[in-house]
Each structure stands twice: as structure tokens, then as C-alpha cells.
Amino acid sequence: MTTSHIDSEYQASAIEPQVQQDWDNRKVFKVADTVEGKHRYILSMFPYPSGKLHMGHVRNYTIGDVISRFHRLKGETVLQPMGWDAFGLPAENAAIAHQVAPAKWTFENIAYMRDQLKKLGLSVDWDREFATCTPEYYHWEQWLFVQLYKKGLIYRKLSTVNWDPVDQTVLANEQVENGRGWRSGALVEKRDIPMYYFRITDYAQELLDDLDTLKDGWPQQVLTMQRNWIGRSTGMDITFPSANPAIYADGLTVYTTRADTLMGVTYVAVAAEHPMALKAAALQSEAGNPELAAFIEECRMGSVAEADLATAEKKGMATGLFVKHPVTGEDLPVWIANYVLMSYGSGAVMAVPAHDERDFEFANKFNLPIKQVIDAQGADDAAYSATEWQEWYGSKDGKLVNSGEFDGLAFQAAYDAFLAKLEPQALANSKVQFRLRDWGVSRQRYWGCPIPMINCNSCGQVTVPEDQLPVVLPTDVVPDGSGNPLNKMPEFYETKCPSCGGDARRETDTLDTFVESSWYYARYASPDFTGGMVKPEAAQSWLPVNQYIGGVEHAILHLLYARFFHKLMRDEGVVQGNEPFTNLLTQGMVLADTFYREAENGKKTWFNPADIELERDEKGRILSAKYSGDGQEVVIGGQEKMSKSKNNGIDPQAIIDQYGADTARVFMMFAAPPDQSLEWSDAGVEGANRFLKRVWRLAAGFLEKGNQATTIDTANLSKDAQDLRRKTHETIQKVGDDIERRHAFNTAIAALMELLNASNKFEAKDDNDAAVAREAITTLLTLLAPFAPHLSQTLLTQFGLELTTVEFPQVDESALTRNTQTIVVQVNGKLRGKLDVAVDISKDELLALAKALPEVQQFLTGPTKKEIVVPNKLVNLVV
């Protein structure tokens, strides 16, 4: 059965290209758009074509590949696709830096990275590959946009952006550094421009509720992050009637989750953009007081990020207007405060400085009254202080005080009582509020999916007719950084209004790139389909994704948007089911050592681990580190996430070139459980490589001997052969469970290492033994295949097995049971001998054998007085 001679030593560089070529030639990982029988869809988050692979990619794609290959061994049809998240800002930045069109840059990167991915040995159906920047893909994104716009699920409204007045361009938040444009250095301004929004808030409740259906398949932590982001809160809208109806007729409505503190309100605060603030500013400006208007402008210029607002220094100004307390009728001043967001609730808060930390800080700063209305119960009888904030002031546990008729009520009773009093006067109603905001998708950028809208002076916004889709993005454009180049291309924007036929202007904004990554998983089911987003039979066959794998940095936005899109597509009749990803695995970070030198001025220079020579003691502990460039010492900075800023990224290509993909894969899977941080270690990589070399030698050594026996006569196995068989079948059981149920790839590999050791120790003395050894080795190679597929395939071929058709081995239950056992024989409690006997031996037989042992007989000086048998363990003869 041995088909050809193989090298006695493992040579990854010799076998990996051959095996990969074989997969390509035979298209062994190709699947059809429709499938019958057991099947599974495994997806690792697709990469952005940044230039080259990093270790995070390698880890992500290896995990997905191990799971895919495992299920293929189990006889299932597995879809594992790969593609490119190809629109986005880095391509435009590269264009500006190197005068190259984003399309060209992107496709060159894709070509390079595709080659790298292939070298990793992924079992991907490459015929399904696509890049999201192609019209064939974004055509259907535009189609969906049009449907949603017509349904009212997309709308247009003014919103504030960062504007760089020198580059004449909109900046993303991360392009603003200390209030200045990252390229021009100009002071950034705020501008209001029209943007398109997806009405994701319409789905807020469903997005929240359906998290419950994912509780067995998703990490708890990710579910919590999604829940918090959606941020459902229940509270009350309370209206404070105007005290100056001549100036401002409507009252002021606030949203509160602490209606119980109503009697403690000492002022109300509105956001700078609130109509009441604007009204007051206009009035004062007319009267020759421009301060309020100036203050509003100052607030508008500040950061729009919510996190910044919460921690920023409290700023405020009185509007000069008043409202009436809805219960007492008392006049309360209306302030503008920078901690109130226009986009949450009603853009106004009832301030209760005694029980809310932000109000407390604000009241102290501006000398506003503070009135305690909740007692200090549960706070060790500590007294309330009007000058120092205590954590428990914000607590809901306590009874009302200083609240007149409401005194003594607890939270819920107080809520009910205020509602009962104010609702009949139309001054209050219960309200459910979500933190989630509608999703603004317009980007004033070139390298993105064109928004399929036309602006007509007479008709307003008109959708591009479906038969004119896709709106194709021109690809031969090199942006220069001064605004969106599409705005300078009449050949792109000049068009006719589909509605009135008059001259009109095509929308030049493009979509947020999160839109492309929100539905790519569905497109993979039928990537070439020209009749819609997904072919119905393909969606039916492959969706939802059974196992999704990716970084925890996508735990909130990407996953939320993809979940939202699945529901949008479902409601459009494109897909079925409510959720796109049944199971989610979030992989941990890849860490590596950091090394640096610190200059006099404290500035650190970081050295790449590849350029560092380590000196170790005999136990392998690092004594010192030297930069190979100058032989001088550097400081050891400890393990950190691989990043450009710490210069501690290790290039996967270098590892693959030196050791091969199988070593890189085995190291990554062995070094840590997939959801934990993985510490890069050269020693670990070498260890993985040694393991594979030993597997190779074991197999090559066996083949060398040329024994062809395959039939195991289980009734006549030596003790050693029985032990090896038991180990083989225990390993099958453990590896299967570790991969499938626990995703504990590291312990699966550890079990394979044990099987290797047991096989190495075993010496075959006859054909039966050789058949047992063959079984152990082919099992080892098969179980190793998900991790080291090139090595496995190459060696299995030598055993007459074909990896792409071989099946995951069956556990032989009978091999797991121990047939023989070792029994200790004592005389008068002292160990005198040992017996290997069948497990089902009778008591009489065992005693007879024990007494017959020569090393025992010499101590049996007379007839035995007592004969003690502890089953499966020992015999004690007392004389």
C-alpha cells in the first residue's frame, strides 16, 4: 500500500506548495449554491485589504479553518468563503500619499493578501471570493437602499460634521487632532449638512429581544455589550409649564428615569441646540446681549462624542427664561448646559443636584440650590452633604423626604403617585427610551458605495430607478485630499431627474463602509447572482451562518448593523430567520514582547522583536535584550498587543517562510484557547515545529519498515498493543469533543502530542502489533489534519488514504475498556510481586496465580491464615 518514497525529514517548504496546488486543481473546497444533507456555514470576518496579513488575521482564519476542516472530516458539506471589505479611508490616504488610484491600490493589496491567505492553507471556496468595491456587489446594496428609502426606513436630515476649511473636506472624528485637521492643521469647524439615516431605532426593541435567542451561541460579554449599546430605559416624560408664555408658549418636556426625585428639582437644563435655548439667545441678541448666542456657538464647536461630554468640564449659562414646577408651581430657571445632549430624550433634563452627580457638579459651580429628597438609607446613617458628592446619592433605594404629600414613598410608589397626579393634567406620561440612535450613513468621501439618490431642484430627493442601478463609482480617480473628487466630476454628477426629466444632480456622498460589511455574509451564499442580493435557494440552503469568528473589537457596531440588516433583508423577503449568526466566537488578541530605549526627553524608540537578540539563563529566563543593529542593550517592556505604535508586530510571512504554514497554525492553536490572549513566543513556534518533525519521523519510520498489515485481531493483543489502542481511541474521543463542543484547540493538540509519544514508545513485534501502530499513526494524522493539513495530507497519502475523503475516525468503545489489569501481591502487607491478569478473572483463579508467583512463594512459609482480595487492585496473603 505504500505508494512512494518520502523524505525522512519534514520539509514544509517542499510539501506545502504542492498540496495547495492540488487543492486548487481539484477545487476540493468548492460547494454549490444549494446543498442537501448535513452542511454548515463557517465564516471568519473578512479582511480589509490593508496591504499584508497580520497575526490577528492568521489567528482568525486558522480558527475558522480548523472548525471547517473538522466538520468536513465529520462528513458535512462546509461553506467557508473569503472576500474583501474593500471600500474605506486608508485607500484614499494611500492615494494622496502615493498618487495612486484607490481602486488600483486596493486590488494590488488584494492580490498580495490573497496569495498570503492561500499560503496559510485555508480550506476556502475561492470561487466565491468577491470585493465589496465592485459594482456587482454594491449594485444590490443600492437596490436595498432604494427599497428602504421608499418604505421610509431611510430619511435625510441635517447633521453636524467636522469641517476642515483649508482642505474643504469633512473629517472623521479620528482625523481631528486637538481640534485641528490631521492633514492641514486648520482649526476644525462644525457644519450642518444633510445626511441619510437608517432608521435602526425602529428595530431597537427587536434587536434587544432577539439577543435572548442567541444566549447559547454568543459570548455573554458580547450580548451585554449589545444590550448596553441599545440601552433601553424606562422612565417618564414630564412637562414643566412655561413661566413666560408670551415668549415661549410651550412648556419644557424632560425625560427622567428618576421621577421619584421630582420634588428635588432646582433648575432645568437644556442642550445648546434646544429650541428654547435658541429662542432665548435670539431675544437677548436683539436686546444687545450677544453672550448667550456666543456660548451656544462655543458648545456647538466642542466634541460631539457622548463620552467626552460626560467627562468634560461643566459649562453653562442661564437663559433668563423660567418654567413652573409641575407640582408646586414654583418658578425654576432654565439653563443651557454642555452635559445635556440634544439627541437623547427631549434634549432637556430636570436637574436634581442632590441625587445626580452631573447636576451636583453643575449646581456647585453655578451656585444653584441643592435639595435632598431621598433619605440616606443604606448608607450607614451617613448624613447627606451639600458640599461633597457621595456614590449613594444616586441610589434608588430610599424613601422620599422633603416631598410634602409624597414623603415616605419608595421608588416605584413615588413613580406611580407622580404619574397619577400629572397624567390627567397632560403633564406626564410613561416613556421607554433607547440610547441607540439612528445610523447616519452619508460619507463625504470618494472611495465608497455611491448613494443611489438624485437631487432635483423641483422634486427634491428622488431615488435612482432600479433599471439604472448600479450607480457606478469611477475608478480611475486619484483624490488629492481637497474634498470629494466626485464633486469635481460633472460626468458623474450631471444627470436628469427621473421624476420630472429636468436637469438634476446625482448625490456625491457615499455610504459608510459598515454598510458593505453588514450583508456580505449573505452574498457569499450566491456571490454571482445577478437577480438580487441573494439567490433564494442559496439563502435557504446556507443561511444563517452557523459559526462566526472575529475580533471582539467588532462586538458592538458591526454585529449590531449586521443583525439589523438581516432583519431588513428578512422584511424585504430576501432571507429567512431573524438572526444572521447562530454562534459567535470572539478571538483574543495576539501579544508580543516589546523592547525600547528612552531618550533624555522621555521619548521612546521601539524595536521590533525580530531585531532583538535575547540572552537567557539555563532555565530559559531572559537575562538581557540587545538590538542587533548596534549590539547595545534595550529595555524589555513586557507583552503587549501587537501594534504599529509599539513596533512589536511579527510578520506572519516570515514565520511561514521559515517554518511553514502548518507550524504557524499549530503554534497559534496550541498557545492559548481561542478566546484568550495569545502570547507570541519564538520558543513556542519552535516547539510546534519540533512536534510536526516528530510526527513526520514517526510516520516515515513506520513506512520505512514496510509492514503492510492492517487487520487488528483484537482478541489477541499484547498488553502494550492494548494500551496503544486505548490511547488511540481515547484521543479520538477527546479531540472530537475538544474541537466541536469546547473549541479547546490547545488541549486537542496536547492530546495529539500524547498519542505521538505513546506511538513512539510502542515497538511492533508482529503483524498484529504493526496493524495497531498503523491505526495509531493514521489516526494521529487524521486528527491533526484540521491543524496541519499539508503535513497530514502528504503523509496520509503514503498510507493509502486521501485526506479529502477520509472520515473522522470512529471511537471503538471496546478499545476504551481495559482488558487487563495489574494486581499487586502482598505477603503480610508487604509488596512481593505483581500480576497482569484479565479484568474479568475469577477470585479463585487470581489467588491461585498469586500463590504460584515464585517471588511470592518464598515468603509463603506455612499455610495462609487469611486471603484478602481487593478487586482490581491487590491480593494480600497473611501467613
Within 494-611, strands assigned E span: 494-496, 503-506, 510-511, 545-551, 581-587, 590-598, 604-607
Q: Tell me how far the alpha carbon of residue 613 is from its chain's centroid.
A: 34
Return the SS3 of 504.
Answer: strand
Residue 604 marked as a ligand binder: no
Asked if 497 interacts with Zn ion (CB under 5 A), we say: yes
User: Of 19, 67, 350, 685, which one interacts with ligand ANZ (CB under 6 A)?
Assistant: 350
Nearer to ligand ANZ, 41 or 339 (CB): 339
CA neighbours closer than 13 Å in the CB half-sphere of residue 24: 10
789 binds, among ligand ANZ, Zn ion, none (CB under 5 to 8 A by kind): none
Quote the CA–CA distance of 745 and 747 in Å, as a whole number. 6
433 binds, among ligand ANZ, Zn ion, none (CB under 5 to 8 A by kind): ligand ANZ
Angle between helix 682-705 and helix 661-671 axes, rounded to 10 deg:
120
Q: Kindly identify the residues of this chain, within the stretch 457-486, that bind Zn ion according to CB under 5 A.
A: 458-459
User: Of 345, 448, 527, 580, which one interacts with ligand ANZ (CB under 6 A)?
Assistant: 345
Selected range binding ligand ANZ among 337-345, 545-553, 767-775, 807-815, rule: CB under 6 A: 337-345
Nearer to Zn ion, 468 or 624 (CB): 468
Nearer to Zn ion, 377 or 461 (CB): 461
CB 448 within 8 A of CB 87: yes
Nearer to ligand ANZ, 219 or 231 (CB): 231
Asked if 403 interacts with ligand ANZ (CB under 6 A), we say: no
Q: How far is the CB of 400 from ligand ANZ (least distance, A)?
A: 12
Q: Kindly identify the residues of this chain, within the stretch 403-462, that bind Zn ion according to CB under 5 A.
A: 456, 458-459
Q: How far is the CB of 462 from Zn ion (least distance, A)?
A: 6
CB 86 within 8 A of CB 131: yes
Nearer to Zn ion, 206 or 494 (CB): 494
| Residue (of 402, 412, 413) closest to 374 by Cα position | 402
Nearer to Zn ion, 346 or 508 (CB): 508
Selected range binding ligand ANZ among 343-351, 489-497, 553-561, 705-713, rule: CB under 6 A: 343-351
| Residue (of 28, 673, 142, 756) closest to 454 by Cα position | 142
458 binds, among ligand ANZ, Zn ion, none (CB under 5 to 8 A by kind): Zn ion
Q: How far is the CB of 614 from ligand ANZ (least distance, A)?
A: 50
Tell me the three-class secondary structure of 20-70, residue by residue: HHHHHHHCCCCCCCCCCCCEEEEEECCCCCCCCCCHHHHHHHHHHHHHHHH
Cα separations (Å) of 210 from 219, 232, 575, 579, 803?
Answer: 15, 14, 16, 8, 40
Nearer to ligand ANZ, 412 or 757 (CB): 412
Asked if 811 interacts with Zn ion (CB under 5 A), we say: no
Angle between helix 652-659 and helix 102-119 axes, rounded to 10 deg:
30
Please, what is the Cα angle at 423 between 421 and 428, to 5 degrees? 105
470 binds, among Zn ion, ligand ANZ, none (CB under 5 to 8 A by kind): none
Nearer to Zn ion, 349 or 504 (CB): 504
Nearer to ligand ANZ, 418 or 745 (CB): 418
Q: How far is the CB of 434 from ligand ANZ (least distance, A)?
A: 9
Selected range binding ligand ANZ among 167-175, 344-352, 524-532, 743-751, rule: CB under 6 A: 344-352
Q: How far is the CB of 369 from ligand ANZ (least distance, A)?
A: 15
- Contact map string, positions 260 to 289, toward ligand ANZ, x by CB under 6 A: -x----------------------------
Quote the CA–CA distance of 682 and 660 in Å, as a whole number. 14
User: Of 100, 223, 341, 556, which one interacts with ligand ANZ (CB under 6 A)?
Assistant: 341
341 binds, among Zn ion, ligand ANZ, none (CB under 5 to 8 A by kind): ligand ANZ
Asked if 848 interacts with Zn ion (CB under 5 A), we say: no
Quote the CA–CA distance of 239 and 254 in Å, as a whole number. 6
CB-based contacts of 474, cutoff 8 Å, min separation 6: 486, 489, 491, 492
| DSSP per position, 447-465 | SSPBP-EEEETTTEEEEPP
- Contact map string, positions 352 to 371, toward ligand ANZ, x by CB under 6 A: x--xx---------------
Asked if 499 interacts with Zn ion (CB under 5 A), we say: yes
- Contact map string, positions 217 to 256, toward ligand ANZ, x by CB under 6 A: ----------------x---------------------xx
| Residue (of 236, 212, 223, 312) closest to 272 by Cα position | 312
Q: How far is the CB of 199 from ligand ANZ (least distance, A)?
A: 20
User: Of 80, 433, 583, 792, which one interacts with ligand ANZ (CB under 6 A)?
Assistant: 433
Return the SS3 of 594.
Answer: strand
Quote the CA–CA distance of 291 and 285 in Å, as a whole number. 8
Asked if 257 interacts with ligand ANZ (CB under 6 A), we say: yes
Under DSSP, the state recorded for 742 is: I
User: Of 47, 64, 347, 550, which one interacts with ligand ANZ (CB under 6 A)?
Assistant: 347
| Residue (of 353, 376, 347) closest to 278 by Cα position | 347
Nearer to ligand ANZ, 230 or 795 (CB): 230
Q: What are the residues facing 539 on neighbouring strands?
A: none
Selected range binding ligand ANZ among 49-57, 62-70, 339-347, 642-650, rule: CB under 6 A: 339-347
Nearer to ligand ANZ, 279 or 371 (CB): 371
Residue 851's identity, in one-letter code, is K
Q: How far is the CB of 340 from ligand ANZ (least distance, A)?
A: 4
Q: How far is the CB of 254 from ligand ANZ (least distance, A)?
A: 7
Burial letters for 737-758: b for 16+ Cβ neighbours within 10 Å, e otherwise?
A: ebbeeebbbbbbbebbbebbeb
Quote the CA–CA distance of 449 and 509 in Å, as a whole number. 9
Under DSSP, the state recorded for 810 is: P
479 binds, among ligand ANZ, Zn ion, none (CB under 5 to 8 A by kind): none
Selected range binding Zn ion among 251-259, 289-297, 497-505, 654-662, rule: CB under 5 A: 497-505
Nearer to ligand ANZ, 35 or 352 (CB): 352
Residue appearing with cell numbers 492540488: 22
Cis preceding linkage at 609, omega within 30:
no
Q: What are the residues facing 504 on neighbouring strands?
A: 495
| Residue (of 53, 121, 113) closest to 649 by Cα position | 53
**Pairing status of strand 820-827 against strand 874-878:** parallel
Angle between helix 767-784 and helix 745-761 axes, rounded to 10 deg:
160
Q: How far is the CB of 364 from ligand ANZ (least distance, A)?
A: 15
Helix, strand counts (H, E) of the chain = 26, 33
349 binds, among Zn ion, ligand ANZ, none (CB under 5 to 8 A by kind): ligand ANZ
Quote the CA–CA distance of 221 and 841 in Å, as a whole number. 54
Selected range binding Zn ion among 98-106, 244-252, 496-504, 641-649, rule: CB under 5 A: 496-504
Nearer to ligand ANZ, 248 or 362 (CB): 362
Nearer to ligand ANZ, 409 or 869 (CB): 409
User: Of 78, 144, 349, 655, which one interacts with ligand ANZ (CB under 6 A)?
Assistant: 349
**Footprint on this chain of Zn ion (rule: CB under 5 A):** 456, 458-459, 497, 499-500
**Which residues lie near ligand ANZ (CB under 6 A)?**
233, 255-258, 261, 340-341, 344-345, 347, 349-350, 352, 355-356, 394, 433
* Binding-site annotation, residues: 644
Q: Which residues are annotated as a binding site for ATP?
A: 644
